[in-house]
Amino acid sequence: MGMLEKMRMIFDSRRVISGSAILYAASQITIGLILLPLGPARVLELQTSVSPEFISSVLGDWRAAGTLRVFINHFYLDFFHPFFYGALLLALMARFLNVARVSPRWNWLLLAPILAAAMDLCENILYVAFIADRSNITVLTSVLSGLASITKWALVGLSVIIISALFVKWVIKHRDAAGV
C-alpha cells in the first residue's frame, strides 16, 4: 500500500473531518477578526503581490499608522491555520474519493491540499522575514511570496472543485440508485 493510499484511508474519518472543520472554522474566524482593522481586501492584495515596492509600501504604511502589530499578531495563529484547512480539505477529498469509489490511481489529487498548506507556510515565513528586516523585501522574495500565495489559493480552489465534483457524482449515483 502506497503513502497516498494510506493517507486516503486514514483521513477518511468522521473524527478527522469534524475535528479539522471545527479547528479550521475557529481559526478562520479568529484570523478574520484579527485582520479586520487592516481591511480584508488590502491583506489579500498584499498577499498576492509580487511587487517589492508595493509590499514595502503597505508594510511601511501599517508601521507608520501603528497597525503593523495587527498583521504580526495574526501569524501566531496563521502558522497553524494551513494544517487545519489542509487536513479538512484532505479529509473531505479522501471521503468523497472513497464514497464515489474512485480508483486509487487518482490518489495523487490528495496532494493538492497538502501543497496548498505548504505554500501558505512558505508565504508566512517570507512575510515574517519582510517584517523583521525590510531589506528582505527584494524582487526575488516578493515574487516567491506572491507566487506561493497565488499557488496556495489556486490549489485550495482546485481542492474545493474536486471535492464538489466528487460530491455531485456521489449524489447523482445515490439518486439514480434510489430511483429518484
Within a domain: 180: no
The pLDDT assigned to 180 comes to 61
**Domain-located, residue 20:** yes
Average predicted confidence (pLDDT) for the chain? 95
Domain-embedded: residue 9: yes
88 assigned to some structural domain: yes
Give residue 176's pLDDT band: very low, low, confident or very high (50, 70, 90).
confident
**Start-to-end Cα distance in the chain:** 37
Q: In the predicted model, is pLDDT for residue 178 greater than 80?
A: no
What residues make up the domain containing 121?
A: 3-173
Contact between 123 and 78 under an 8 Å Cβ cutoff? The reply is no
pLDDT at 164: 97
Evaluate whether residue 178 is within a structural domain.
no
* Count of the separate structural domains present in the chain: 1
Residues contacting residue 180 through CB under 8 Å, at least 6 positions apart: none
Question: Using one digit for the tens of pLDDT, what is the confidence trace for 103-156?
Answer: 999 999 999 999 999 999 999 999 999 999 999 999 999 999 999 999 999 999
Q: What is the pLDDT of residues 54-83, one digit of tens each?
A: 999 999 999 999 999 999 999 999 999 999
pTM for this model (two decimals): 0.92
Query: What DSSP letter does each residue of 38-86 carry, written as one string?
Result: G-HHHHHHHHT---HHHHHHHHHHHHHHT-HHHHHHHHHHHTTHHHHHH
